[in-house]
Structure 1
Amino acid sequence: MTDKIIVKGARQHNLKDIHLEIPKNKLVVITGVSGSGKSTLAFDTLYAEGQRRYVESLSAYARQFLELMEKPDVDSIEYLAPAISIEQKSISRNPRSTVGTITEIYDYMRLLFARVGDVHCPSCGKVVESYSVQQIVDHILENPDGSRVEILSPIVRGKKGEFRKLFEGLLKDGYVRVWVDGEQRRLEEEIILEKNVKHNISVSIDRVKLKEGIDRRLADSVETALRLSEGLAEISVDGDSRLFSEKFSCAECNISIPEIEPRSFSFNNPFGACPECEGLGEKQIFDEKAIVPNDNLSVREGAIKPWEHFDNFHHYNTLVAISEQQGIDMNIPYKKLSEEAKDYLLNGSDEPLKLFTFKGEKKVFYEKKFTGVLGWLREKLYTGTPNERDNAKRYMSSMDCPECEGARLQKTSLSVFVGDKNIHEVSAMDIQIALDFFENLNFTGFRREVADRIVAEIVRRLAFLRDVGLDYITLERKASTLSGGEAQRIRLATQIGSGLTGVLYVLDEPSIGLHQRDNDMLIATLKNLRDIGNTVIVVEHDEDTILDADHVIDMGPYAGRKGGEIVYEGVPEGLSDCENCLTGAYLSGRMEIEIPKERNQPCERWLKLTGASEHNLKNVKLELPLGMMVCVTGVSGSGKSTLIMDTMYPALVRKLQGTAIKAGEYKSIEGFEHIDKVIDIDQSPIGRTPRSNPSTYTGVLTDVRELFAMTPEAKKRGYKAGRFSFNVRYGRCETCQGEGYIKIEMHFLPDMYVRCDACGGKRYNRDTLDIRYSGKNIADVLDMTVNQAFEFFENIPKLKNKLKVLVDVGLGYIKLGQPATTLSGGEAQRVKLAKELMKRPTGKTLYIFDEPTTGLHFDDINKLVKIFRALTESGNTVVIIEHNLDVIKCSDYIIDLGPEGGGGGGEIIFSGTPEKCAKSRKSYTGKYLKRKLG
């Protein structure tokens, strides 16, 4: 077998009949500008054909799906290995999925805690144990010969009642000695106990002096004692008593604990899940901060948001009655009201209010219970109209479950400890801390034999997560909160753990979300995957990854129709000398992202957030200059996203919009009056089905539909703009419902979308496609790239201006009708940016970007930086969470968090200009930035 993968005649999408040889068992990086054909070559050609051939090798049932799997447009691919794709897609949006469950580490932890955990009483905290009959007998026989042993069966513990029938049964069975509250009594006596007094009653099963050969008799007696008392036996040796339990139970608290099994620690199983939140760890409750977003206002001015727009007589009458009868001043700021007054307004009272109304001209008095704003909202939530229910939900947010405090599990499950930690406490540890915890566990005896293999597997998997730069995340973190880069690196760690060899791995920018300091570990991991006998193909823009590769393929020279060619192929060292290569031009320094000659200076407008303490933040005080391009930096897990995305952004939304979005813990926020709106432009998809696309999201399709409706033929047929929407019944193809694709459930593989046979993927029916503008029907327009559409609609100013924005953000290569499901996170983010840029600027907007350089080539980053600077020149504020040094060096101001990730971070270690940051000894960012600034 050859040591190369030979590709001949690849023409998928924009690839121009390319031929190449990819070395096997090497680290191969495919680079090039956005839209040049990198992903088309890596995923749509190599991986797609590898997956198709895999299905071809399966059973007849599986092969029936082959005709639905589109064969890549390529003449041949020889010596292709089985392929595994590791892309930047969210692992799961299920709130029950965590890092621990998707990596299966939590499954091993459940097994460990079930088999070797120390069980404690959930009430008093004492250690409880279970004993077999043989273990109890062995304990008795440990005593020296000649000891007097008494075996008691505690049949009543702390219960009220006469127990006459119980005594009659004991007498019938021949038991003659009974202890009532510690006092020995004879059953022959007439024993009547008071019904309302708690009693402890035991009966004597055996009283014997130890000697050889007595163990069998002891075993019988112990079995009888356990049977009578449902698993409890009290053994007294020479007057020294001890209680033994066949089950996990606490005799002092009268608590019996069910058998401890792995499912006892599963929050997805009723045996382990907290009954209050059903294992979610959180509940939707009404949030006081959302109900009263601005406590500087009085009640009459609208401090209580749900009552803000009430101006009817009954509402006014109620406020007056509260003021007069409860002495609550409705005209002073809400924050100056007493706690009793606030509680009354929120929760109401059982004491009715005296109100009045008019019947004709007659004033009629009546009484009505005041339930407070929370009672009013609950009423609307459960019995209101759909609109009223939706309005009530605006004031709800997710809070930790009051029963389990976010731990997801029952109290009995949380009372099992390994190494003095319960399973939730271990899950809440950072990966590195958890790794240290498991490596230092020490067991003895049979527990060691049971635990060693389980712990070894946990340690191995945790080490893989650490090695891909994820040492800062926790096992309890929800999978839905992971970024695309983090999700991809988790998959990478899982694949390394599988130990497969002879496989073709295809990765999409695994360096996303990694600080330069952590990138070296990732590169070492990729090389390890290569060294064990795999071919690793990485679509990447990171300079260090490119230079560390064994082989580089540069696609281009530009995007879309102007791309799809191999500009350079060979060792990384030769890339800088390639004259037609944009990548080489930036690596060599012939082209560069220029540092601004003058940076914007801080003015009197500042946004100040104090006391931020969510997750690992340590009472942080954030001072953010407005009207500037601000980069928030720091090593992975240092607290950047927690500070900006989880705390500052929702806090601003609460203040500016009054919505119930949950904000991280903080004390106060000032300066928001200088902002009119805050916009988070993240990398979440613009839609989850092929029905969504860039033209619908940005509103371009609306203008196109209106243009088609104005054509003579459309007017003649009576077609309105709605006819040209693929969401309207009479214009769309009914076979695919206007999606152009039909979803096929693959059962053993991810669901597939295959092109609709009826319309050929054009979305519309034949009559709609008959209407043409300048020789093109609407399906032809949706099939155009943004660059093509920009030229086509050059004489339509409204459309031209919108398309120009898409070109400026580096999306000229994508198609107007490209399904949202095919857009990367970075492309989706730039579509959102374009939509915002199409709006009229106010000069008081705060834009937030989380790693906007995802998927961008050096040349695309250059364009993006210019857009950021244009936004700030209009007076707006741009806040960017970023690791890319080219963006950081062009910013006006840096806020650097750290110094480390996880528990070692959570502090602002530097604030100021890039030049000053480069001189900071504390900052890892400054260390790498120093090289960029020269």
Structure 2
Amino acid sequence: LSPRFFSFNSPHGACPACSGLGVQRRFDPGRVVAHPDQPLPAALASGALRALSDLETTIRTLAGRYGFRLETPFADLPPPVQQVVLEGSGDEELEFVEVRGAHRTTSRRPFEGILAQLERRQHDTRSLWLREELEGLVADRRCPTCEGTRLRREARFVRLGGKSIVEVSALSVGAAASFFQGLGFAPTEAEIARPILKEVHARLGFLVDVGLDYLSLDRGAATLSGGEGQRIRLATQIGSRLVGVLYILDEPSIGLHQRDTARLLGTLRELRDLGNTVVVVEHDRDTILAADHVIDMGPGAGVHGGRVVAAGSPADVMLDPASLTGRYLAGLEQVPVPPQRRRGSGWTIGVRGARGNNLKSLDVDIPLGTMACVTGVSGSGKSTLVIDTLYRALAQRLGGGREEPGPHAALAGWQMVDKVIEISQAPIGRTPRSNPATYTGAFGPIRELFAQLPEARTRGYGPGRFSFNVKGGRCEACAGEGMIAIEMHFLPDIFVTCDVCGGRRYNRETLEVRLKGLSIADVLALTVAEAIDVLSHVPPVRQRLDALREVGLDYVQLGQSATTLSGGEAQRVKLARELARRATGRTLYVLDEPTTGLHFDDVRRLLGVLDRLVDAGNTVLLIEHNLDVIKSADCVIDLGPEGGAEGGEVVVIGTPEEVAACERSFTGMALRTVLAPSVQNGGCESGARDHSVDS
């Protein structure tokens, strides 16, 4: 047998049923039958109703054959009948009677089932609109042939040390290292295996060194966070043992717990000691203090930055009064600990029996009306609990959630929440048309303001004239994008500035209308801080601009393309939109590591924004490693104790002080360095819910 026989990327090893993907795209019964409390056909999703023909005839035939009333809700039909409706009658032939006007025809044939009919319709239709609508009813289902392993049956029978390649691939990096370390071979076999095992041990060791021992070997690349992907690439470079290389890393500590940062720093020092240069863009305190040379940029952001404020050793930077970073490192500036913790509304929302990935049937309650923070070492199950389980389950209950939540027994107290909003670092738009002004809603009032100017009224221009998304005022050469895409065939498209409008998006006539000497293009080119001075007399605009300034985006241009915003900037634009809305309360905001890319001072500003959301009657739920955020939370839920198979349990729940007093909590150990000295080592304080790891 050759190595390709064990690869799902090769036709020699891939499962023939799913082509090595491990999943099959199939219509999801839960999405197709969107309204099970209704009778057929009203129980079906709108897309299914539009795609299927002769439904009335089919349902009458099924009702006559299986003896159910037409007004019976789908959920009340016997399970065997539900199965026939969805999956067909098999070999059994049914008598279908079709009446068209005066003509009546009878035919006998098996019923293929609604799911099969939808698959055929999706395959045959030429309507992109219908195909897109049907795609919303499709979900990935585990391949029944290979059971999600992606390999053909024969490859799964070969064993090494009593395990198949599937079982070995399911091990975490740490467990796999132990497995290969414990293998025994006969003398002849050992001679063959020695060079292979040397490579395996080295590569697994590199992954352990960069803090990824909790990842399973078969983890999909698409499920990795940006920080995890970067550290895997870093491990690859360590293995190459190159010398004289300049390595540039952008925030490698993203997603790392304080306990794991030390191992990462050891890896970076190893790269340096080999004879390389390592340049790191970082906001993490431990990483900055470990550097040989620090270059502090500033003093502000955007147009207020771009200069070297301080340079030298960490000690030199701390002594420089012009460096804001130095003042935070020296403790002269800091994020204050709240004088008191909010107790919340008295209501909670809870997950019962959460068991996705490595979660061990967790029961967790989130106090509403507070800022709650889920912590734990990397791979302890934070995202699985908060995003995959709680957020998705709540989104489904409140409507609009399409993604299937992680396995859990129940969701308690969800009726006390009106809305759930995940404020992620995903882009606010994928084209140059989307920008902070359009996303926050500030652009509408700005266009209305321009339409009220005397010059615009004389020319008969309405608000639509000042939109770059519709014909009339926009530059037609670039369709209002300011850029023209040049197709590169086998390479990604490149964008060049439109030579007609010069990137200003509008035609000459529209740009002749001016507010305080500024055209609509000039206004879009203003930063938020500059726009506040120009548009302060327009309350709807001022409200949204103030929100952008509060989240630390006063340096961003109103018309800055969404594609040029970083993940952290996109997340703060979303926060600004929420701040600018009228407060209704009872909203749960979910944020996954919102401090990514933020300076110490930006973190302090972000916490002020989150406090405003909570004080308005909402709940903020964070996944975070940043100690300044954790110490500011009202409630901390610490998962662990380790990552991967050794995690997935609740270690302790309580205030930051109570978590800091818990000896078993790695987060608690880190918190003791930033909280008051009165927090001593010891068992969990009486107010905390102590979760024994063996309970």
Is the pair's TM-score, using the shorter chain for normalization, greater than 0.5?
A: yes
Match among 80, 101, 105 for residue 340 of structure 1: 80
Residues 170-209 of structure 1 aligned to structure 2 (within 5 Å): none
Q: C-alpha separation between the residues in 2 aligned to 1:549 and 1:698?
A: 39
Assess if the C-alpha contact under 8 Å between 1:323 and 1:330 holds in 2.
yes
User: Greater CA deviation, 661-670 or 451-460?
Assistant: 451-460
Aligned to 2:371: 629
Q: Which residue of 1 aligns with 2:195?
A: 453
Using the alignment, how far apart are the partners of 2:71 and 2:614 within structure 1? 40
Contact 1:484 1:825 (8 Å CA) reproduced: no
Aligned partner of 1:222 in structure 2 is: none
Q: Could you give the per-residue CA deviations for residues 754-808 of structure 1, whole angstroms, max 9, x where no partner exists?
A: 5455544334444443333221223322222111122221111111111111111
Greater CA drift, 857-866 or 330-339: 330-339
**What is the distance in 2 between the residues matched to 1:839 and 1:376?**
44
Q: Match for 2:574 among 807, 815, 832?
A: 832
Cross-structure match for 2:686: none
Query: What's the offset of the Cα at 1:840?
Result: 3.1
1:303/1:489 CA distance change after superposition, 3 Å: same
**Do the aligned partners of residues 262 and 765 (structure 1) sit closer, same or farther apart at CA in structure 2, a change above 3 Å counting?**
farther
Shift of 1:345: 4.8
Assess, with a 3 A threshold, how the Cα gap between structure 1 residues 419 and 808 changes in structure 2: closer, same or farther: same
Report if aligned partners of 1:290, 1:659 keep a CA contact under 8 Å in 2: no
Partner Cα distance (1:740, 1:447) in 2:
66
Partner of 1:708: 450
What is the Cα deviation at residue 305 of structure 1? 5.4
Q: How far off its partner does 1:302 sit?
A: 7.3
Aligned CA distance change for structure 1 residues 275 and 342 (closer, same or farther; 3 Å): same
Q: In 2 relative to 1, CA 710–489 (structure 1 residues): closer, same or farther, beyond 3 Å?
A: farther
Equivalent pair of 2:373/2:633 in contact (CA under 8 Å): yes
Q: Structure 2 counterpart of 1:861, which letter?
A: V
**Larger CA deviation: 893-902 vs 681-690:** 681-690
Answer yes or no: is 1:538 the counterpart of 2:280.
yes
1:395 to 137, 156, 160: 137
Task: State whether structure 2 residue 38 is matched by structure 1 residue 280.
Answer: no
Give the structure 2 partner of residue 664 of structure 1.
406
Instruction: For residue 513 of structure 1, report the CA deviation from its aligned partner.
Output: 0.5
Given candidates 403, 407, 417, the residue that maps to 1:675 is: 417
Cα RMSD of the aligned pairs, angstroms, is: 3.6
Distance of 2:537 and 2:548 partners within structure 1: 17
**C-alpha separation between the residues in 2 aligned to 1:663 and 1:534?**
45
Does 1 or 2 have the higher relative contact order (CA < 8 Å, sep 6+)? 1
Distance in 1 (CA, whole Å) between partners of 2:674 and 2:298 is: 26
What does 1:102-117 correspond to in 2, within 5 Å?
none
Q: C-alpha separation between the residues in 1 aligned to 2:431 and 2:348?
A: 41
Describe the SS at the equivalent of 2:621.
Answer: strand
CA deviation string 1:533-559 (max 9, x = no partner): 222222211111111111222222222
- Provide closer, same or farther for how the CA distance between residues 709 and 611 of structure 1 changes in structure 2, counting only shifts above 3 A: same
Is the Cα–Cα contact under 8 Å of residues 435 and 462 in structure 1 kept in the other structure? yes
The 10-residue stretch of structure 1 (397-406 or 488-497) with the greater mean CA deviation from structure 2: 488-497
1:468 aligns with 2:205: no
2:231 aligned partner: 489
Which of 493, 497, 509 is matched with 2:251 structurally?
509
Indicate yes or no: 2:546 matched with 1:797: no
2:24 match: secondary structure: strand
What corresponds to 2:680 in structure 1?
none
For residues 479 and 153 of structure 2, what CA distance do their matches in structure 1 show? 50
Please give the residue correspondences for 1:629-648 in structure 2 after superposition, counting only pairs within 5 Å.
629-648=371-390
8 A Cα contact 2:23 2:143, kept in partner = yes
In 2: Cα distance, 1:809 partner to 1:511 partner? 23
- C-alpha deviation, 1:516, in angstroms: 0.7
1:557 corresponds to which residue? 299
Paired residue secondary structure (2:140)? strand
Cα 1:426/1:730, change in 2 over 3 Å:
farther
Kept after mapping to 1: 8 A contact 2:32/2:48: no
Aligned amino acid, residue 340 of structure 1: P
Q: Distance in 2 between matches of 1:446 and 1:745?
A: 57
CA distance in 2, matches of 1:502, 1:271: 41
2:416 equivalent to 1:686: no
Whole-angstrom CA distance in 2 between matches of 1:689 and 1:454? 47
**Aligned match of 1:438:** 180
- Superposed, which structure 2 residues align to 1:563-578 within 5 Å? 563-578=305-320
The structure with the larger Rg is 1
Residue 518 of structure 1 aligns with an amino acid whose one-letter code is D
8 A contact 2:435–2:559 mirrored in 1? yes
Specify the alignment match of 1:695 in structure 2.
437
How far apart are residue 352 of structure 1 and its match?
Answer: 4.7
Q: In 2, Cα distance between the equivalents of 1:316 and 1:749?
A: 50
Which of 624, 637, 646 lines up with 1:895 in the alignment? 637
Q: 1:269 aligns with which of 4, 7, 10?
A: 10
Aligned residues of 1:735 and 1:756 also touching (Cα < 8 A): yes
**CA deviation map 1:256-282 (0-9, x unaligned):** xxxx33433333333332222222221
Change (3 A) 1:441 1:326: same
- Residue-by-residue CA offset, 1:455-511 (whole Å, 9 max, x unaligned): 333332322222111222233222222222222222222232333333332222111
Distance 2:644 2:331 in 1: 36
CA distance in structure 2 between the aligned counterparts of 1:846 and 1:301, rounded to whole angstroms: 35
| 2:328 and 2:600 in contact (8 A); partners too | yes
> 2:16 is matched by which residue type in structure 1?
P
Q: Deviations over 1:715-774 (max 9, x none)?
A: 455555444444446654556554444557899998765545554433444444333322
SS at match of 2:674: helix
One of 871, 877, 883 as aligned partner of 2:625: 883
1:351: how far off?
Answer: 6.4
State how far apart, in whole Å, the 2-side matches of 1:344 and 1:775 are: 71
Distance change (3 Å), C-alpha of 1:276 and 1:729: farther
2:562 counterpart letter in structure 1: A
Larger displacement relative to structure 2 (737-746 or 768-777): 737-746
Is the contact between residue 397 and residue 660 of structure 1 (CA under 8 Å) also seen in structure 2?
A: no
Number of aligned pairs? 669
Query: Does 2:348 match 1:614?
Result: no
Tell me the distance in 2 between the aligned counterparts of 1:690 and 1:391: 26
DSSP-derived class of the 2:378 partner: coil
Q: In 2 relative to 1, CA 764–662 (structure 1 residues): closer, same or farther, beyond 3 Å? A: same
What secondary structure does 1:558 align onto? coil
For 1:831 and 1:798, the matched residues in 2 are separated by 16
CA gap 1:401/1:709 in 2 versus in 1, 3 angstroms: farther
Quote the Cα distance in structure 1 between the aligned partners of 2:243 and 2:299.
34
1:909 to 651, 658, 667: 651
* 1:578-607 C-alpha deviation (Å, 9 max, x unpaired): 333322333333332222233222545322
So what's the TM-score if we normalise by structure 2?
0.85
**What TM-score does the superposition give when structure 1 sets the normalisation length?**
0.65
Secondary structure of the equivalent of 1:909?
strand
Relative to structure 1, the CA distance from residue 895 to residue 301 in structure 2 (aligned partners, 3 Å threshold; closer, same or farther) is farther
Cα deviation, 1:370-410, whole Å, max 9, x if unaligned, reads 76654564465456665554443333221221222222222
1:18: which partner in 2? none
1:94-142 CA-to-partner distances (Å, cap 9, x unmatched) read: xxxxxxxxxxxxxxxxxxxxxxxxxxxxxxxxxxxxxxxxxxxxxxxxx
Q: Given the superposition, is the C-alpha separation of residues 356 and 262 from structure 1 closer, same or farther in structure 2, using an over 3 Å criterion?
A: closer
CA distance in 2, matches of 1:567, 1:605: 48
| Secondary structure at the counterpart of residue 932 of structure 1 | coil
Structure 2 CA distance for partners of 1:687 and 1:417, relative to 1, 3 Å: farther
For 1:357 and 1:608, locate their aligned partners in 2 and report how far apart those are by CA, in whole Å: 53
1:147 is matched with which residue? none
1:416 paired with 2:153, answer: no
What does 1:88-127 correspond to in 2, within 5 Å?
none
Which of 603-612 and 732-741 deviates more? 732-741
Q: Among 578, 583, 588, which residue is 2:330 paired with?
A: 588
Shift of 1:900: 0.3
The SS at the match of 1:804 is helix
SS at match of 1:931: coil
CA contact (8 A) 1:301 1:308 kept: no
